Amino acid sequence: MTHAITSRFRCLLIALTALLLTVGSLATATPASAHDELVSTDPESGSTVETMPEELVLTFSGILSTEDGATELAVTDADGASLADGDPEVVETTVTQPLAGEATGPITVQWKVVSSDGHPISGEFSFDVAAPDPTPTPTPTASSPTAAPTATETPTATPSASPETPAEASSTVPWIVGGIVALAVIAAVVYLVASRRRTPPSAPGSNSSAPDSDQPSER
């Protein structure tokens, strides 16, 4: 009697354990198969990029619905301006959203998709766009004072006797010749006057001719 009760109790315990394991596996498997999730993003959530990307790429764990309005993305900058350029493109497990415009600082992405079983899921992430480096301003360097140019003396041309022109020379020739002639005349007159003063005057009554007084035959 005791052995029979023990056997029945063991069978009941085994059945309850199997039932609990089955329910547990179904409880954990159903949400996983019914709800897809976001696996990765490009740019990555929380990352910082140098420039604004041309597009966003979101990858999910399952195939997504491609019905109109099933996938929605909102991409905004720090001021709330939209950066999305057109509608997102859904290909199996990926969503690609083209971007347009320039922005720096935090970029916020809000998304909503519908998994293949018709269950919608949504979420949000953000990344940063680095500000461009400021253009360095050239620092003015102190230049050494430029020495003032020394005033150089301009050589003064010494006036030189200009050569006589042929016309001037020909006009002075008569004066020179006349001067020479005048000097010659004056010299001749001075000579004659001087020679007369050196000759003594003859005595009155004397014969000026010396040869006549020397003739002995006449005496």
Say which residue, 217 or 118, is predicted with more confidence.
Answer: 118
State how far the Cα of 187 lies from the Cα of 189, in Å rounded to an integer.
6
Residue 210 is predicted with a pLDDT of 45
CB 85 within 8 A of CB 56: no
Say which residue, 201 or 37, is predicted with more confidence.
Answer: 37
Say which residue, 22 or 168, is predicted with more confidence.
Answer: 22
Residue 20 is predicted with a pLDDT of 72
Residue 33 has pLDDT above 60, yes or no: no
Candidate from 10-14, 21-25, 185-189 with smallest mean pLDDT: 21-25
State how far the Cα of 40 lies from the Cα of 43, in Å rounded to an integer.
9
Residue 180 has pLDDT above 70, yes or no: yes
Say which residue, 161 or 152, is predicted with more confidence.
Answer: 152
Confidence of residue 130 (pLDDT cuts 50, 70, 90): very high
For the whole model, what pTM was predicted?
A: 0.48
CB 59 within 8 A of CB 43: no
Residue 146 is predicted with a pLDDT of 61
61 closest CA partner among 123, 118, 116, 126: 116
Residue 118 has pLDDT above 70, yes or no: yes
- List the 105-114 sheet strands across, edge first: 48-49, 120-129, 105-114, 72-76
pLDDT in tens, 199-209: 655 555 545 44
Residue 82 is predicted with a pLDDT of 95
DSSP state, residue 62:
S
Q: Before 120, cis peptide (omega within 30)?
A: no
Average pLDDT, the chain: 76
pLDDT in tens, 59-110: 999 999 999 889 999 999 999 999 999 999 999 999 999 999 889 999 999 9
Helix (H) or strand (E) holding 23: helix 2-34
